[in-house]
Chains A and B, each alone.
Chain A
């Protein structure tokens, strides 16, 4: 083991490679003053979990998967609620966009359809106009009554 003194020197200076350190551990000279040190490290390397530990662990972990269902369902409910809210808001915005804004020009290719739309608009306008006029008449009557009361004073 001619290589040993050189590698040992490197080892104590913290300059050896992992492979060289592995060699030092596995080829220990019992009469060497460093034998106890390397035996200690070698024994530590051999510490292992009991056989079957990982299989038992995986079985337990997979069994515990069922307990994760509850949080998962809760999470899914959150997403479902968010989706419903999103759809609701989206639908409202979409319907508002469909309503014709004031001042916007509507162009129909079919004259009959255009005429029908115009009639309906005018009808709506006339209904609202009549409704407004009735309020105006009421107000005029109210003003007239107030005037009469003042004159009587």
Chain B
């Protein structure tokens, strides 16, 4: 893959990778760092990318693997969360509003089992089709649908509880 192909085929995916990273690390700055690292890796391996069938899925997989490596390196996810909290203090109002959204999503997602989280993330936060999700997570279609259905209902219920009990944040 040439530099111009890299620009035209991979750079447009940056916001998608960013949102995916946010939905995993729940911090905008960390997500930005992750995206930067993913692109640096892809750049050094760009000659091998010519044979990749689905570049977007490949990039998502790279992002996920990098986040897993980072989490392993820092032993616990809570280390990443601590950095996120620290950074939130120094942000603008606009950024804080977004951080509230991210934090709320983090809390809601935290109530879901891993598979439901993964399906909800890919479908409702990233906009992938069920067959694509099935391929990425190695699930059959009925399993994807069931996990998605349960995740949506659970999140709706949690949001309703928040509103009923007045726990609503700036974002709602």
Contacts and interface: CB of A to CB of B under 8 A. Distances in A.
Contacts, number: 77
B6 to A, nearest CB: 8
Interface residues of B, number: 41
Interface stretch (A36-44, A77-85, A112-120, A137-145): A36-44
Contact of A43 (B18, B36, B101, B152): B101
B155 interface: yes
Interface in B34-90: 35-36, 39-40, 43-44
B149 A12 contact: yes
Interface string B15-41: 100110011000010001001100110
B18 A37 contact: no
A54 B14 contact: yes
Given A15-B145, A61-B39, A47 B14 contact: no
Interface of A: 11-15, 18, 21, 33-34, 36-37, 39-41, 43-45, 47-50, 53-54, 57-58, 61-62, 64, 68
Interface of B: 3, 7, 11, 14-15, 18-19, 22-23, 28, 32, 35-36, 39-40, 43-44, 98, 101-102, 104-105, 124-125, 127, 129, 144-146, 148-149, 152-153, 155-156, 159-160, 163, 168, 171-172
Q: Which 9 A-B pairs have the closest CB atoms?
A: A14-B149, A14-B148, A14-B145, A36-B172, A61-B43, A54-B11, A49-B18, A48-B15, A36-B159
27 contacts: A12-B152, A12-B153, A14-B148, A14-B152, A15-B145, A18-B127, A36-B160, A36-B163, A40-B101, A40-B104, A40-B105, A40-B172, A43-B101, A44-B19, A44-B23, A44-B101, A44-B125, A45-B19, A47-B19, A47-B102, A48-B15, A48-B18, A49-B35, A50-B32, A54-B11, A57-B36, A58-B7
